[in-house]
Amino acid sequence: MIKNTNLNFRLILGGLFFFLSACGPIANSEEVTEKDGVITIKIDVDNLREASLSEFFEPEIDYLLLKESEDPGSQIGEIAKLIEYKDMIFVFDWWIGKSVQMFDRQGNFIHRIRNLGDGLGKYIELADLQVVQDTVYLLAHPLKIIKFDLEGNFLDEFKIPVTGRTFHYDTDRKSFFVYHGSDAENLVSEINHAGKVLGSFFPRNPSIFYGIMGDPVNFYAYENGFYFTRTYTDTLYTFNQNSFEPLMVFDFGKLAMDHTRMIEKKLELDNRAFSDYFKENSGSSYAPYGFSNSNYILSRLMMPGFGAVSIFDKINKKHHLVKFDLINDIDESFNFYPPVYQLQENRVAVAYRGPSLYNKAVEKKQTMSEQEWQEYQQGKGKDFIEAAFYGKETENYVLMILKTKK
């Protein structure tokens, strides 16, 4: 097994961030600096502000109902991940449905992969989904990666020697990067199609607080490669040849999480007391939950007692620290947290269950006179009201799809 001896997880800690700044980085703005290809973003809570959808997205929202059919397989339990590939939308439901559902771009149900059981092509639990080069890859338990074609037919599987939580398929190296979770000896392994470990990265460090929070997204798309990050850290890494290197650093200054104190308190307090303590004293850190495309990388930041949204403009190298709900100045339906599902062609989505969307329409109507409602219904609110009307009869989801600005 190849060990990565050049990168220690101490890079997560704040010392490196101040070192990078002290070396005289090239300034792009007051908050964003760059040195030797590493971008450092200074987080200042005084800059937290409200923001509007039109700042970051084109002035149009498309509503797509993922329709239920007579086939019970079309009923969505919970959306953990959305992938748009060619003319299909893949819905990954690892928790309730333990399946992958395919819909066309009009929202019509096509089919489902749900192979519960023990044996070839079957799984007990699911962890993650990738769709690459006309192949559906499922990271599954017990300890395997299963391959299907786009019609849901089983192709092959191979065993892996480690538990996987999330993964990313690198088409250049033709290998999988698998995140094992915070309890593993090494957080990430590179694994080939035979299940052989080619390299291990990020050895577990006793001075780092790992917590118990699950990471919904560890791997983000990045040009022709990918980012890797995890909860409670400050850094996004990219894989370069045979090692991970820091690519983007969030400098939280004095608000940064004190890992040593968190470890001490975790040992000192019972679970409930520690949970209460953590909510108020955790400091600031990165929480991987969002999307990355050619224009932006969007994710959550955890602050003492509250949360915020980080939006980094990759093209102009500007950073925006904004409140959770963006003001919907496009169709004025309701304000919502920025989209977290990455689709194709810089399109992104947020998902609401049909009845929830319908309730939003009812709330909107209650704020208007009859004449205002009629004008809204026939004008800028037409698509929203129509989607809410159809959505009220189903427990499936409606996707609100936006396109990021260039």
CA gap 220, 291 in Å, rounded:
7
Q: In the block, which residue shows the tokens 């969505």?
A: 76
pLDDT, residue 20, reads 32
pLDDT, residue 224, reads 80
pLDDT, residue 23, reads 38
Identity (one letter) of the amino acid at 404? Answer: T
Helix or strand run (H / E) with residue 371: helix 370-378
- Check residue 3 and report its DSSP letter: B
Q: Report yes or no: 355 and 391 within 8 Å, Cβ to Cβ.
A: yes
pLDDT, residue 223, reads 80
Identity (one letter) of the amino acid at 311? Answer: I
Q: Where are the beta strands (DSSP E) in 208-276?
A: 219-222, 225-228, 235-240, 243-251
Helix or strand run (H / E) with residue 322: strand 318-322
pLDDT, residue 336, reads 94
> Which own/partner contact pairs does 321-325 have at CB distance under 8 Å and 24+ positions apart?
321/43, 321/44, 321/45, 321/47, 321/48, 321/49, 322/48, 322/49, 322/50, 322/51, 323/48, 323/49, 323/50, 323/51
Q: What is the pLDDT along the chain (406 residues), one digit of tens a residue?
A: 333 433 343 333 333 333 333 333 344 566 999 999 999 999 999 999 999 999 999 999 999 999 999 999 999 999 999 999 999 999 999 999 999 999 999 999 999 999 999 999 999 999 999 999 999 999 999 999 999 999 999 999 999 999 999 999 999 999 999 999 988 999 999 999 999 999 999 999 999 999 867 788 899 988 888 999 999 999 999 998 899 999 999 999 999 999 999 999 999 999 999 999 998 899 999 998 999 999 999 999 998 778 899 999 999 999 999 999 999 999 999 999 999 999 998 999 999 999 999 999 999 999 999 999 999 999 999 999 999 999 999 999 999 999 999 8
Q: Report yes or no: 209 and 266 within 8 Å, Cβ to Cβ.
A: yes
CATH architecture of 9-52+75-348: Beta Barrel (2.40)
Going from N- to C-terminal start, the domains of the chain cover 9-52+75-348
pLDDT, residue 241, reads 84
Helix or strand run (H / E) with residue 320: strand 318-322
CA gap 185, 199 in Å, rounded:
13
